[in-house]
Structure 1
Amino acid sequence: MSVKIGLVSLGCPKNLVDSEIMLGILKKDGFAITNREKEADVLIINTCSFINDAKEESIKTILELARLKKEGSCKAILVCGCLAQRYPRELTDEMPEIDGLLGTGAIREIAGAVKNILAGKKVSMVGSPGFLHDAGLPRLTSTPSYTAFLKIAEGCDNCCSYCVIPRIRGPFRSRPVDDIASEAASLAAGGVKELVLVAQDTTRYGVDLYGKPSLVGLLKHLAALDGPAWLRLLYTYPDLLTDELINLMISERKVCRYLDLPLQHASNDVLARMNRRGNREEIIRLVEKLRTALPGITLRTSFITGFPGETEADFLDLLDFIREVKFDRVGIFTYSQEEHTAAASMPDQIPEEVKSERRDRAMAIQQEVSLERNMKKIGSVISVLIEGFHSMDPLKYFGRSEGDAPDIDGKVYIMSGVKLSPGDIVQVLVVNASEYDLTGELI
């Protein structure tokens, strides 16, 4: 009887891709995969440790699943990913529930790690974070059949003063265009309609391989594939969002008119301390350019409140920016003081209650902006990717528009007398709106 493996993936879509590759390797090696944690012989947790909340979630998950070693069939717990890479000694010393660790650079070794654990060996495979997957590796996707994440690069060179990613994931390194296109073709052959391109810094793609930003050339290759109708971009840093990319988005309708621009703040003083490229004035000019060139484009961003030294004036500057620019989607997070980062030792650390109070004030303003932006869509016709239907009302379906990334943004709810299937892309007339979601009728 095959050994059953259960895997819990925490954190971002980039981490999810790593989880899917590990599942693919394990399945190819003869292990059985189960999504029922109580049935698993080995439980794998692919962890996140980007900020304190993520670390706490990872540790809580490890402890919860470790109870299944007493109550279920679980024989071993293997902790992988960012937390294992960042804190191997601490996890080994303080959490005897863990039977093995696998760092971010050792993903290819997952099957051997599981075999060693089952043989009674304590495993700690944490070295340099040099892994970069390729199309030749097996991958067992866990997203719905019509959507898949496509990781085009790994690591980061930006060295923002608050961020541990370069330490955990290593330097920025791109996959070759042909290799990415090969994986995309395989996903498309499996029925994927939406490819979501991810990296730590998507717009930097190709700089290390080709000597210049090469995202446009990659998108042209992917757009030529049969199958995918949507190519969505996440984590597009504004400093390399070129006119060439904007022109491609104008001419190639497979590329969603949606951009995720991780800005983090709007005060120039705070941006300088964060070691972020660009300033408030440049960002405003970029947004104006995007909205002029691509009418109806959906723009998403993220901000951090309570960064060391953030004064009330800095924060009010951010609030004014939110009101002025009117992003369609915004995520707001409190600053997390992370060891081994430059910001952790900066003076004027902000109390937690002030960070949270500022986040809540900013979110209240953004909710007003989001409602205003969504209300303007009433009467328009949008494309919607169907995801499912309500079991209590078979005429009411839900899905995502071109302006909604999976697991991040809102939903579109649709009344339809025609049967629809997950993966269908349909035209919908918007008839109502809330802060995050739209309601429409099938055309």
Structure 2
Amino acid sequence: MAEDYRYSHLHKLFSMKNMYTFSDRSLDYQNRLRAFMAEHVYSNEEVWAKQRRDAANVWAPLPIVEDLKSRAKAAGLWNLALPHSRYGPGLTNFEYAPLAEQMGRVHWSSELFNCHAPESGNMEMLEKYGSQDQVAKWLPGMTDGTHGSAFAMTEPDVASSDATNIETSIVRDGDRYVINGRKWWISGAAAEHCKVLFVMGQTDADNPAKHLRQSMIIVPKDTPGVTIVRDLNILGYSDAPHGHAEILLENVCVPTENIILGEGRGFEIAQGRLGPGRIHHAMRNIGMAERALESLCRRALNRKPFGKLLADQGVTRERIAEARIRIDQARLLVLNTAHRIDTNGVESAKMEISAIKVAAPIMLGQVVDWAMQVYGAAGVTDDFGLGYACARARIMRYVDGPDEVHRNVIARMELAKYK
């Protein structure tokens, strides 16, 4: 696997006057992560695929992943996605962004560094909003990678892109809460090592302030009444051993101390969790797009239909150039958003967060489509990873809110400037 040359020189671009500059610490982590990917990850992609294919239990951790997690931890490449945290190096969002891109080049590699979704978002959420007892009980196992977690918000019967629509009920009964509802697309919940769910539901359905009806509560996965109904495939891909589950909650009882931050704070917590996570998703999208463009170029330089290299065809060059432009545009937009969050907070970057959430997956989908076209029929097989990348690009247009919702946010904020 060739070195990711874009990032080996990217700091020069950001050293220009009036542009952002990566810190020496960020550059050090970029170099170390790139070296780790080159030595341990690219060379084990086929091993990962074989172990996943041959696994007797598809939900059990893969040996290659557990081995590489230990190596990454020993190399000091662990919990990189947690800003201002004592459980990792405390990189800012801007410092972490290029690292997320490198991880995105191999879709399963983020877990090796304990930087995968939903884990990174859940850890940040719990550390920021959880009580001392909640943090002490659940966070060490998550930050150490000994057990996983899931974020249970989305529901099949409502438009979950508006979190105030969530209908799962959380009813207080003495010193416990009783939870009833159905969730789906709950990433990581089906995995064998997932031990805890962060569940969003209604504690005050009649509150006239709809943003205060929701609460967030901690539910151990082995609590009676929690049922994993099924795994939900993404265009035919199961994503095991991570997976995306449908979950049924039937009279699930947990102690009142499991509520996070207090009743009525669920929407606030969800919004605080999702902002930085959208940057992580977007940068991983960019890494996947870079990999697809690299694949496109290599194919174009080695394939000669009708006696002429594909690289010499005008349409191929047009697509390569356009792909480079779109990837770099998306990257700059994401880095700008990360810088804004670090400087002024998540609330100040609402428009930028929505913009990258729209731009990055659409860019990825188009670049992957062009790469698939250069490969011809081979592009839709699993041989080159483009089929999965295509499916991933499409699902990312729903994750953390669909395009339409984010475009509405952007338009509303833009119009407000002129009222």
- TM exceeding 0.5: no
Q: What TM-score does the superposition give when structure 1 sets the normalisation length?
A: 0.26
Q: Comparing both structures, which one devotes a greater share of its residues to helix?
A: 2
TM-score by length of 2: 0.27
Larger RCO: Structure 1 or Structure 2 (Cα < 8 Å, ≥ 6 residues apart)? 2
